[in-house]
Amino acid sequence: MVSLRHISVAFTAAVTAVGAALFVALNLIYKRRVWPPEDYYVFKEEEEERRERQVLVLGLDGAGKSSVLQGLSGGAGKRHCRPTRGFNFIRLHTPACQLDFLEIGGGEELRAYWPEFLRKTHILVYVVDSSDRSRLPQAKDELHRLLRVDTQLPVVVLGNKQDKPNAANVHELRDALSLGSLAEQRRLHLLMLQLGSTGTISSHSIQNLQDVLLKLL
């Protein structure tokens, strides 16, 4: 007999797949170049293509990925972000380019699908709960598994929840995630995130993230 857990996992995976398919379909409707089928031909000016960049936001469940997207989208006021069961998407317009952020949930049943979304990604943003030291080894393993799939992809690692007690500092986080072994192989940045007065990620931290992303594009 199929267990309820297996049904839940299958349902969650199906929701994610359907959501990702809708994400692709909507972008195709607007003639965007985001994870198109292999036989889909894009007729766009080269200059326009350079203005569109895809940012994939990953991290273990509870790391704070949705809070990062909320900060990037200018969400005001403190708001509790529920764990992402499928995916979230926001679009930001900057003077230099348009950034499309796609967040995939970090639950165990979804992490197996992460590598499938790397193919058309320009930058990987990997969010880590720096206060949860017990899960740092798991966060490291998942990050390095992704980076073995694409050895050239630029990466921004976000040390989130720096306001929490016992949060790992920048040096501890770099060692815990073995980032030193990656620095010479690819463009990699480690940023630490702080909460602002409203209880959301501070505007200073968000501005630093935006500046780094634009430098990598």
Query: Which amino acids are annotated as binding site for GTP, given as ranges?
Result: 59-66, 106, 160-163
Q: Which residues belong to the annotated binding site for Mg(2+)?
A: 66, 84
Which own/partner pairs from 46-52 qualify as long-range (CB within 8 Å, at least 24 positions apart)?
50/97, 51/96, 51/97, 51/98, 52/97, 52/98, 52/100
Quickly list H helices, the chain. 4-29, 46-50, 65-72, 108-111, 136-149, 170-176, 203-216
Cα gap 211→114, rounded to integer Å: 25
- CA–CA distance from 190 to each of 73, 98, 127, 182 (Å)? 21, 23, 10, 12
Q: Which residues belong to the annotated binding site?
A: 59-66, 84, 106, 160-163
What is the separation of C-alpha 61 from the centre of its chain, rounded to a whole number of angstroms? Answer: 12
